[in-house]
Amino acid sequence: MFDKFSERHIGVSNEKDLKAMLDVIGVKSVDELISQVIPQSIRLRKPLALPAEGMSEYEFAAHIRELADRNQPYRSFIGMGYYPSAVPAVVTRNVFENPAWYTSYTPYQAEISQGRLEALLNFQTAVISLTGMEIGNCSLLDEGTAAAEAMAMMFSLRSRDAVREGRNQLFVDRNIFPQTLDVLLTRSEPFGIELIVDDYDEYEFTGREFGAIVQYPAADGRVRDYSDFTAAAHAKGALVTVAADLLSLALLKAPGEWGADIAVGSAQRLGTPMGFGGPAAGYMTTREAFKRNMPGRIIGVSVDRLGNKALRMALQMREQHIKRERATSNICTASALMASMTGFYCVYNGPEGLRRAAETAHLAAATVARALEAMDYRLASKEFFDTLEVEAEAAVVQSLALEQGINFYYPSEGRVRMSFDEVTTAAEIETVVSIFAAAKGKKAKAVKAVTESCVPTALRRQSPYLQEPVFNAYRSESALMRYIKKLELRDISLANSMISLGSCTMKLNAAALMQPLSLAGFQNMHPFAPADQAKGYMDLIAGLEQDLATITGFAACSLQPNSGAAGEYTGLMVIRAYHQSRGQGYRNVVLIPASAHGTNPASAAMAGMKIVTVTCDERGNIDVADLEAKAKEHSSELCGLMVTYPSTHGDFESRIREIVDAVHDAGGQVYMDGANMNAQVGLTNPGYIGADVCHLNLHKTFAMPHGGGGPGVGPICVAEHLRAFLPSHPVVATGGDEGITAVASAPWGSALLFPITYGYIKMLGAEGLRRATEMAIVNANYMSAALAAEYRTYYSGETGRVGHEMILDLTSFKKDYNIDCGDIAHRLMDYGFHAPTLSFPVHETLMVEPTESEPKEEMDRFIEALISIKRECEAAAGQADNVVANAPHTARELAGAWEHPYSRDEAAFPLAWIGEAKFFPYVSKIDNGYGDRNLCCRNCE
């Protein structure tokens, strides 16, 4: 008999601890508590239609290896934005497979995030340097969505005259990756942007364009000089975005040097696996003049309270939280873990290593090109970086290539395209040439290696890159391993202590779920490989889609959206397509409660919707009368409702079915935000409640890691009538029969991550999934009750209970003690904890979500820390120099001169157990204003 995974995943697994917690809550059983939390009217009457018992970890390991072995990772020369990469083993083992890196949260609490902030700053510095731009962000989702963000950014940068003139055309060069064009089509239509797809060298700007997008090198491999084109665009007031291959920029002139305004793309080939499409870090760089319009996160250099260098997220407030319905981006999650890996890849390789990798790819292409020309093959271009397109009978070449275990890309019946990479060998070059010789019935001659460049002289890179000390200091594995460890020790992650972030569900990312990601059968698959080579992935995807549909009570699922916010957007676009199919495309009003997460109105705005805000009552619940009135008022144009359930306030609103019915009666659809699905699984679900579509944050409820701000996956599940509109893809068949165009570059988004959620469901089974939900609710109510004498829970349900999270009221602390919730967040760092969610959704509060993974001992430590901090606040009243306001305290400060009225011990070891595993913040409280006034987003050391 094997151990049950649920007993390893769920922190409170012994009856003694559970009884003690239930006693504090004031109930006799878990069932009694759940009956007080979730309205009986929406409780599932039957268990989920999944196996009741889950697999053991051992059984799952064997099962997932079998699926990986069913994939056939042929040698890929497909390219098209996805390439084999020499991922350094030292980075794989010390970052990708290290919970200290993959379980950390987005670095909003900068003082305890200095390690990953430096790793992200290295990424930023590298892409800024390679692209020749002035500023960059610390990653986006993928190349297609990065291009779409650039499109929106250029659109928002239009001058007042351009807006008045109605400039709404975007030129897109025809020679761009098809998946990028498809995402641009999806994202442009709601904004009323007209795409003009044409050839860059024949196009004449008319003055109706606000921007242009080109690929560098082009999709078919051509290296083209865009300087005249860019000058022509600028002369007509249009901005130019280039989708640039980062590795090529080691040899090609930087986009910033030939006039591009924005550079975007994917960093996948710099140190991350293909993974059947993702995750990989997207990037964006631009000119400093556009810094206020750049989406996503920017890591900046500032100083702390003691004047030491400190890193933070510059211009920190995410724009959707400020602008909401006026936002031009809904970016929230980005691929931060993969960006860190890319940063370390650049640190390890440095400028000479990147040049070596680029020359390997380029000279392999050049050698094959010469050999093909010698056999009278015609190439699309003699000027290329790593990609060749050749006229040949595709079916014949493909048959011969498959015999050799090789994949090329076949854009038409008469053309074959191949992309080389940093791991191409001389033997592989011989094999490729022999395939094309056999296609002509010839025997291949000996291949002579080419050593001269095929890049036009005018486009060869002359400027240096990666000159910063960090890219020139760590060449041995020992040196890099210690650098990674040095940064790791500056951060708090789940490897240190609980991270009780409300709305973010920082639960255990079990090692058994993470291990399969390192299997070659999952890592080395190209997303455009023939389906019969990806049978393991196809079975996994079909099984995961079915399981998620079952859990949510819906008919179908799409795994393509590669973030939670992308899932929100996708759900709305599917609803929009449904209305259009019924001749009701005019339905564009979306009702959104005032309490909603900022990405909700931002996503609605991006989907071209008109947002109508629904008020909340004094208990934090949706004002049903206001909702019914507004649904009725806008019934002729109502698209739908975006609702989070349980609410953002952590409450299962008892009138949810009335809310759903009111929207349906007015002709709208109900989109349910799945951010709080961790309180529903196995007990209720969106389909049973009556919703039409929901998205799921797999990095929350379904155990994927947060990775310091991503990866994240946001699939959507839909009712039967919406199945036909699930997103499609231009290269690989997926989605519904009337599917919307793509919302991500890869057909199934970040597929490498799917074994995590697949395994979570398979190992918990129906009973374990339900129990995990129950314990998430028990733990939240336990903490709320245990803290009740010290901290009021701001909102609760009709029975006085909370859902899986609660909001602690600190609104009087500023008045009573001259201390705010930010000070308390910083003081928690001295206790070894990451703070809960600050001032959201209510100002000057802490939103706490313990999840089901935390044991009673850890929750008790956190409770004791909060009570101790309140005592410190009371003692500090009227004293400017106090232990809370000065927090956090670094080891350097504690060891130096000491002039505070409190002792060093009080600062560092306020409770006895802290000394057992003391975490010292690397910097003290950071001066945010200084960092914004003196914006520096490069690692200049």
Q: In the chain, count H helices and then E strands.
A: 31, 24
Mean pLDDT (whole number) for 658-674: 97
**pLDDT tens-digit map of 106-150:** 999 999 999 999 999 999 999 999 999 999 999 999 999 999 999
Which phi-psi region, left, alpha or beta, contains residue 832 (left: φ > 0; alpha: ψ -120 to 50)?
A: left
Quick one: what percent of the chain has pLDDT higher than 90? 92
Question: Which burial class, exposed, middle or buried, applies to 309 when counting CB atoms under 10 A from its CB (0-12, 13-18, 19+)?
Answer: exposed
Whether pLDDT at 797 is above 70 = yes
Q: Which residue has the tokens 């259009």?
A: 580
Whether pLDDT at 560 is above 50 = yes
Whether pLDDT at 375 is above 50 = yes
Question: Which burial class, exposed, middle or buried, applies to 291 when counting CB atoms under 10 A from its CB (0-12, 13-18, 19+)?
Answer: middle
Give the phi and the psi of residue 426 in degrees, each rounded to 5: -60, -40
The per-residue pLDDT of the chain, averaged, comes to 95
**And the tokens for 687?**
């389909």
Whether pLDDT at 384 is above 90 = yes
| Kind of pairing between the strands at 845-848 and 806-809 | antiparallel
Whether pLDDT at 319 is above 70 = no
Give the phi and the psi of residue 895 in degrees, each rounded to 5: -90, -10
Q: What is the pLDDT of residue 101?
A: 98
- Per the omega criterion (within 30 degrees of 0), is the bond before 601 cis? no
DSSP 338: H
Q: What is the pLDDT of residue 878?
A: 87
Q: What is the pLDDT of residue 333?
A: 74
Whether pLDDT at 324 is above 80 = no
**pLDDT tens-digit map of 857-904:** 999 999 999 999 999 999 998 899 999 999 999 999 999 999 999 999
pLDDT band for position 332 (cuts 50, 70, 90): confident
**Which residues fall within 8 angstroms of residue 235, CB to CB, at 6 or more apart?**
205
pLDDT band for position 315 (cuts 50, 70, 90): confident
Question: Which burial class, exposed, middle or buried, applies to 913 when counting CB atoms under 10 A from its CB (0-12, 13-18, 19+)?
Answer: middle
Give the phi and the psi of residue 750 in degrees, each rounded to 5: -90, 70
Q: What is the pLDDT of residue 325?
A: 63
pLDDT band for position 331 (cuts 50, 70, 90): confident
Q: What is the pLDDT of residue 287?
A: 96
Q: How far apart are CA 766 and CA 753, in angstroms?
A: 21
Whether pLDDT at 316 is above 60 = no
Whether pLDDT at 551 is above 80 = yes
Q: What is the pLDDT of residue 834?
A: 97
Q: What is the residue-wise DSSP string for 68-79?
A: HHHB--PEE--B
CB of 622 closer than 8 Å to CB of 647 = yes
Whether pLDDT at 596 is above 90 = no
Q: What is the pLDDT of residue 201?
A: 95
Give me the half-sphere count of Cα atoms (radius 13 Å) on the Cβ side of residue 52: 2
Q: Which of 627, 699, 702 is nearest to 668 (CA)?
A: 627
- Specify the 3-state DSSP secondary structure of 732: coil
Whether pLDDT at 228 is above 60 = yes
**pLDDT tens-digit map of 116-128:** 999 999 999 999 9
Terminal C-alpha separation, the chain: 56
**pLDDT tens-digit map of 394-410:** 999 999 999 999 999 99
CA angle 655, 676, 512 (to 5 degrees): 145
Q: How far apart are CA 32 and CA 388, in angstroms?
A: 67
Neighbouring CB atoms inside 10 A of 199's CB total 9
Q: How far apart are CA 531 and CA 343, in angstroms?
A: 33
Amino acid at 685: N
Q: What is the pLDDT of residue 378?
A: 97
**pLDDT tens-digit map of 683-716:** 999 999 999 999 999 999 999 999 999 888 999 9
Mean pLDDT (whole number) for 600-623: 92
pLDDT band for position 318 (cuts 50, 70, 90): very low
Mean pLDDT (whole number) for 462-470: 97
